[in-house]
Amino acid sequence: MPYHHQKRIYIPTNARSNQYILAEIRVTDELLSGYDDVQDAYRQLSQTVFSLADKQEIHNIQVIANDKLPVVRFHTEAYSFETAEQIRFFYNPAYHEAQNLFATAGHRARKLRLVFLATGSELRSNSATFHAKVQHFMDSLLPLLPATGLAVKIRDHQHLSYDFFTKAKGNKESYGYKLRAIDKRYQARGCQLPQEHSALNYVTVSLPLSRKLKQRILPEGTTDFTPLYQYLEDKFLSAASTKQLSRLAMVANGLTPIVRNSKFETLESTAELQMIGFDPNATEQQFSRHWQGDKLAEAAHFAIVAGPKDCDDGGYGRFMNQVEEALRSFANEIDMDKEHEDLILRFHQHISYRR
């Protein structure tokens, strides 16, 4: 393949795009002192947020005041549901708008989380404009709050998701992406980021553990699933190594995998969340394994993290081509049925900074 083609990745035209920006405000005694009680603070704060959002034409914003982690996915219907530790938002950016407050009676949050869900079409090409809009919103909001010097952290999350086997299912159309780094894209569009910011780019892959796969690997009636997990791990690592992909993880313990930069983030797994930390600047092999032989999960999740050498001025297209080639080999090795099974791939780009 000519080198200039290697720098583009051809992604199916039915791929889903998401962007959401998380603004975290530390809840201090000074902030709460301006209200009658904690619940009154959340109610009035959310009213201030929603009123300002209406004025600045931000159409989908959620206020989380119970320390739960937001997880955002594309869906043709708009809905959200809470677990003990998460709030999962499903929506179609082209159609869905909402304003909601999530709070738990008697709970004082450590952080107030504002979740800005991008709306409209062409999210990726408009992502810098949306980020600048959120920056302006936060600059307008902070003077309206009854406290000064509040610490704010901004996290911008973007991802493209698609079924890796979509061509085998009949959708042949694709579009070429360079997948430039967020800071490069934003700089080109006049959206300023602080010099000190953290970036992480990675791929996650979700593999349902089908009946066919389990029957082929495991003896009937077994309660030891180690052979299945070890088989998948070996095939995954072998496929990744042929493409010099060295920042890897496998999660098959029923928890939701959350990938973070270990240099800047405190990592603590919970009853629902499997935190996976990577230092993208480290040159040595990094593999994080999370499965237990006595517990059968519904799916195995894999992560492949990019390093500095995986991005040039052209973007992450070459890295994604390497990932796809590795996954193609992996899928063939485990004998997946491409016409009837799904292998959902997500390319994530994150940046975060303090403001």
DSSP secondary structure letters along 215-247: HHHS-TT-S--HHHHHHHHHHHHHHHHTTT--E
Distance from C-alpha of 229 to C-alpha of 251, rounded to nearest angstrom: 10
| CA-wise closest residue to 311 among 198, 182, 193 | 182
Q: How many CB atoms lie within 10 A of CB 340?
A: 11
pLDDT confidence bin for 265, thresholds 50/70/90: low
Give the separation between CA 323 and CA 346, rounded to whole angstroms.
11
The answer, yes or no, to whether residue 4 has pLDDT greater than 60, is no
Residue 79, H or E segment: strand 79-82
* Distance from C-alpha of 64 to C-alpha of 69, rounded to nearest angstrom: 9
Q: pLDDT tens, 171-193?
A: 999 999 999 999 999 999 999 99
Closest CA to 22 of 193, 128, 155, 132: 155
Tens digit of pLDDT for each residue in 317-353?
Answer: 999 999 999 999 999 999 999 999 999 999 999 999 9
3-state secondary structure of 350: strand
pLDDT at 5: 55
Helix (H), strand (E), coil (C) string for 12-38: ECCCEEEEEEEEEEECCHHHHCCCCCH
> What is the Cα 198 distance to its own chain's centre?
15
Tell me the pLDDT band of 262, cut-offs 50, 70 and 90: confident
On average, the pLDDT of the chain sits at 94
* Model pLDDT for residues 15-72, shown as the tens digit of each residue: 999 999 999 999 999 999 999 999 999 999 999 999 999 999 999 999 999 999 999 9
pLDDT digits (tens, 9 = 90+) for 100-156: 999 999 899 999 999 999 999 899 999 999 999 999 999 999 999 999 999 899 999
| pLDDT for the residue 200 | 94
Confidence grade of residue 283 (pLDDT, cut at 50, 70, 90): confident
State the residue for tokens 């709460």: 32
